[in-house]
Amino acid sequence: MPKLGVNIDHVATLRQARREDDPDPVLAAIVCEQSGADSLVVHLREDRRHIQDHDLMVLRNIVKTRLNLEMSLNTGIVDIACNIKPDMATIVPERREEVTTEGGLDVLQHKGRIAEVCNLLKRNGIQVSLFIAPEREAIQTSADLGVDAIELHTGAYAAACIRRERSQDFQQLASMCAFAQSLGLSVNAGHGLNYDNVRPIARIEGIAELNIGHAIIARAVFVGLSAAVKEMRLLL
Ligand code: PXP
């Protein structure tokens, strides 16, 4: 049974819509943990469109499970990560104009910089994960870089589920998960997972953690955050 990481960025998105104090992502983190989340995930974006530096500091102090910080390779963000020391840093690609993280990290193109950032993070006792497409070369390069984990991008699978033709993308995820494990990597997955499409992914042998944001926060609008987290937990 994989662990559940709940991404609470959208709680901060709602708060930032008014630039006031509510809803507070810190309170959301507490509710998620009390409802069965195994970790909390936040993305400190360069444009600070949702999570703010202050949120991250408070979260570091109150999260009792594990704090997984999604981050780009930007120097300022790397400095903050080394200072805050989340349990895990997941390196993601980031473009200002995107609505959400669109693709996996181009580990081949950015290999040198990723190696530098990994060393800095590891020296600060932070586990490192790379958010990548479920492709052999990216997985092999990640293993060569000596990271602790990868997070397989499930966006293509989620999109295929909407078209009711998920099987090829599912097979790709399952086989790439096995390949990554054979190289000694811990394998997480996420992006676009929801209450309808999560079960097959949760049953992939050895998958360590699923990181889910939008679907849980969207469901929370109707049933409350605690129930939304518990329902997802049950599906895993
Ligand atoms: N994993 C990573 C690396 C992400 O960037 C995101 C989106 O912030 C998620 C998981 C969660 O995606 P979703 O909000 O679609 O569940």
CATH of the domain at 141: 3.20.20.70
Q: Catalytic pick from 10, 43, 50, 153?
A: 43
Determine contact, residues 49/25, Cβ cutoff 8 Å: no
Domain span at residue 107? 3-235
Tens digits of per-residue pLDDT, 25-80? 999 999 999 999 999 999 999 999 999 999 999 999 999 999 999 999 999 999 99
Between β-strands 127-132 and 3-7, what pairing exists: parallel, antiparallel or unpaired?
A: unpaired
How many CB atoms are located within 10 Å of the residue 234 CB? Answer: 9
Residue 205 falls in the annotated catalytic set:
no
Report the candidate in 225, 232, 229, 230 with the shortest Cα–Cα distance to residue 11: 225
Which residues, 6 or more positions from 139, have their beta carbon under 8 angstroms from its beta carbon? Answer: 132, 150, 176, 179, 180, 183, 185
Question: CA 121, CA 25: separation in Å to the nearest integer?
Answer: 24
Residue 13 CA to ligand 1 centre (angstroms): 14
Cis peptide before 23 (omega within 30 of 0): yes
Question: Catalytic one among 33, 50, 70, 153?
Answer: 70
Q: Indicate the pTM of the whole model.
A: 0.95
Q: Is 131 close to ligand 1, i.e. is its CB under 6 Å away?
A: yes
Q: What's the number of domains the chain is made of?
A: 1
Task: Express each pLDDT in 79-103 by its tens digit.
Answer: 999 999 999 999 999 876 666 667 8
Q: Which long-range contacts (CB under 8 A, 24 or more apart) does 165-169 make?
A: 166/197, 166/200
- Per-residue pLDDT at 21: 93
Residue of 101, 105, 130 with the most ligand 1 atoms within 8 Å of its CB, for mutation? 101
